[in-house]
Structure 1
C-alpha cells in the first residue's frame, strides 16, 4: 500500500509541475498578445475577431495533437483562450437569434466565443440585425439551416458600410454529444471576411427580371466559380427586384473578376452584385 501511495504522490507531483508549466506558458502567450495589441494601436477596427486566422490555428492544432482528448475538447480549450485574448484587445459581445431550439444556439455560441463573452438571446432576427448594425463591437449568431425560411440574409444584400457581413460558421468543430448537433449558424458582424485557406463565400446577384435556377448555375460554371444558387427571392412588390443567393467553394471578394463575368453573362437585367461574406469551412464538413 505504501508503494502505491508513493507512486501516486510522484504522479500527482508531476501533474502539479505540468500545471505550473502550463500556467507559465499561458501567461507568456498573454504577454505576447498584449504586445500585439500595442503594435496594433493604430488599427481603428472595432473588433479583434479574426475568424480566418482562428480557423487556421484550430486546424493546425487539431491536425497535430496526438493525445487521447477528443477534438472537441482540445478545440474548446483553444476557443476559450482565443476569445479571451480577443476581448483583452477590444470589447466584444454576441447577440444570438434563436426562434426555436434556443438552448442549442446558445450552446453553439458559448462554445465558440467562450464562457466569459457577454451574450444575449433574442427570438427576432430583426432585433439582432438592428443591434449588430448599430454596434461595430457586437457580433451576431444567425440560424442557417433552412435557406427557404431564413430571410435575414436579405438585409445583408442591401450592401453598404454599416451592413454586417458573414464572417464564420458554427459549429467549427462538431460536438457529437450536443443535444442539438444538427444545428448550424453563421456569425455576422461589421468586419471584413478574411481567407483561411479553405472557405465558402456567399453572394447575391440582384436582377430586374426573373432568372431560372438552371441559367444561374450555368453562369457560375462559365464564370469559373464552383458552387450553386441556393435560393431566388421574388420581389415583395410589383416593381421590386429579384435576389439570387449563391454559395461558392472559394474566398471571393467584391473585386473578383469572376463576379464581373457573372454579371456580364446575365446581361442588362443585373442591377448589382453584393458579397455577403465568407466563412472558413468547418472541420469535418462535407461542403
Structure 2
C-alpha cells in the first residue's frame, strides 16, 4: 500500500470513528427512552389495578389506542425509514411494554407456521404468547371461556372469498371483532387481487379509533326486494360498504345470510341510527363489532 493509500485509509477510519461514536451515543439514548417507556407502561398497569372495581378485570390492551399510536407514528415520520417500517418497530415496542403490564394470550388455528400465525404475530408483536389450536371452534371457545384474551381467525383468502366456517362461528359465539390484519398475497394474479384478511376476536366491544369499520351479520327471507330493503338504510345515510357477501343461512333454504363491512363506528350517530333502523326490519341482525381499520 502506498503512502497515499495509507493516508486515505487513516482518514476514512477517523471519519468512521466519529460516526460510530455518534451511533453509540444515539443507541444509548434510544435504550434509555425504551426503558422510560417501559416504566410508564408499568405505571399504567398500576393505575388500572388501583382503580378497578372488585369484580372487574382491568383491560390492558386497547386496540383503538394502538391503532392511533401507529397512525401517529406514520404521520410524523420524516424518513429515511419507510412509514410501515417505523410502524412495525413501534408495534414491537408496544408489544414488549404491554407484556410488562399483562402478557397477552392469543390463539389461532394451527398448525404453527401458517399464515394465520403470521397474522397473529404481525398484529400483536413477538412478545404476545401465540398458541395454535386444532380447530376454529376450539379457537372461539378459548376466547369465550376466558382461557385466552384474543384469537386471530381467517375471514378472507385470496381468490376464494370469505371463510364460511368463521361466519358460522360468529353466529354461535358472543364475541366481538376487535381488529383486522391483512397479509400481502403470495402471488398477485392481477392488480385487483385481494390480500388475505384475518380478524382479531375478543370478548369486549372497543371504542372508536377515528378510522374504523363495523361488521354485521344479517339474516332475512330469500325473496324479491329483500336486498334492496336491506341496503336502503345504508344508502340513505351515505354509509360506504367495504364488503358485502351473500350465502344461504345453512339452516333454512328460504333464508339468506349477508355479511357486511362498512366504514364507521357504532358510537357515531349515523351508525347508531342505522343499527336502530335495521332492528325495525324483518331481519335478524347480529352486531359483530366496530374496530380500527388495518394500519399495517
Distance 1:249 1:98 in 2: 31
Which residue of 1 is the match for residue 33 of structure 2? 25
Paired residues for 1:214-229 under 5 Å: 214-222=228-236, 225-227=239-241
Q: 1:107 to 1:155 in 2, by over 3 A?
A: closer
Does residue 103 (structure 1) correspond to residue 117 (structure 2)? The answer is: no
Bigger relative CO (Cα 8 Å, ≥ 6 apart): 1
Structure 1 residue aligned with 2:64: 52
- TM-score w.r.t. structure 2 length? 0.80
CA contact under 8 A between 1:147 and 1:230: conserved in structure 2? no
Correspondence 1:210 to 2:249: no
Given that 1:230 and 1:245 are in contact with CA atoms closer than 8 Å, whether structure 2 keeps it comes out as yes
Partner of 1:141: 152
Task: Determine the structure 1 residue equivalent to 2:126.
Answer: 115
State how far apart, in whole Å, the 1-side matches of 2:82 and 2:132 are.
29
**Pairwise mapping of residues 164-243 of structure 1 onto structure 2 (< 5 A)?**
164-171=175-182, 179=186, 182-207=195-220, 209-210=221-222, 212-222=226-236, 225-227=239-241, 230-238=244-252, 242-243=256-257
| 8 Å CA contact 2:248, 2:257 repeated in 1 | yes
Q: Distance in 2 between matches of 1:165 and 1:258?
A: 19
2:80 matches 1:72 = no
Deviation at 1:147, TM superposition (A): 4.7
SS at match of 2:216: strand
The answer for unaligned runs of 5 or more in structure 1 is none
Deviation at 1:261, TM superposition (A): 1.2
What do the CA deviations read for 1:67-98 (whole angstroms, capped 9, x no partner)? 22223321221111112222221231111225
**Structure possessing the higher radius of gyration over alpha carbons:** 2
CA shift at 1:25, angstroms?
A: 0.9
* Residue aligned with 1:202, SS: strand
TM-score, length of structure 1 as denominator length: 0.82
- Name the stretch that deviates more: 5-14 or 80-89: 80-89
**Structure 2: which 5+ runs fail to align?**
1-8, 189-194
Residue 260 of structure 1 is aligned with which of 252, 276, 281? 276
SS at match of 1:40: helix
Partner of 1:279: 291
| 2:233/2:274 contact within 8 Å kept | no
Change (3 A) 1:45 1:244: farther
SS in structure 2 opposite 1:151?
A: helix
Whether contact under 8 Å (2:142, 2:148) holds in the other structure is no
Query: What SS does structure 2 have at the residue aligned with 1:144?
Result: strand
1:141-164 Cα distance to aligned partner (Å, 9 max, x none): 1112155433323333346xxx22
Asked if the contact 1:93/1:117 (under 8 Å) is kept, the reply is yes
Relative to structure 1, the CA distance from residue 240 to residue 135 in structure 2 (aligned partners, 3 Å threshold; closer, same or farther) is farther
